[in-house]
Amino acid sequence: MTITVCGSIKFFDQMLGVKGKLEQMGHTVLMPIKADGVDYWSKDNAGRVQAKKKLGLISEHMDKIEKSDAILVMNITKGEVENYIGANTFLEVGFAHYRDKKIYLLNAIPSQKYIEDEILTVEPVVLNGDLTKIA
């Protein structure tokens, strides 16, 4: 199965670990791009926004989703938000749903305003950290 990993680039190292495990399981894994020289933890979004525009990162990632059988959302706790799903990832979930792709969440559905109901509506498979549930 071809799986595109989605989630905050702040968790890129964790994404790489999951990528390796999925590949060991025989899956082909497509990853988001982490732009060189961008401080993803900066409170100033200007560098991230500029990189997304300049490199066409949103469109490029949507192309990867289009080529995939499924997406895996790396919803990891960020700050005080357990199992965080950010705005870009939420866009990717919506696109995957529209394109009839299987949607997997690494962890439980977050209790985030405006997100929880919509995520429930697309009926993801919640893995609770168990990648072997991907079928």
At 7-61, the pLDDT tens digits run 988 899 999 999 999 999 999 999 997 776 655 555 666 555 665 656 667 788 8
- Using the predicted structure, report yes or no on whether residue 109 has a pLDDT greater than 90: yes
Per-residue pLDDT averaged across 62-86, rounded?
95
Strands 125-126, 70-73: parallel, antiparallel or unpaired by DSSP?
Answer: unpaired
Total domains present in the chain: 1
Predicted TM-score (pTM) of the model is 0.88
Give CB contacts under 8 A, 24+ apart, made by 85-92: 85/7, 85/110, 85/112, 85/115, 85/119, 86/7, 86/8, 88/8, 88/58, 89/6, 89/7, 89/8, 90/115, 90/118, 91/58, 92/4, 92/6, 92/61, 92/62, 92/65
What CATH number is attached to the domain comprising 76? 3.40.50.450
Give the residue numbers spanning the domain of 30. 2-133
Per-residue pLDDT averaged across 106-124, rounded?
90
Which H or E run contains 6?
strand 2-6
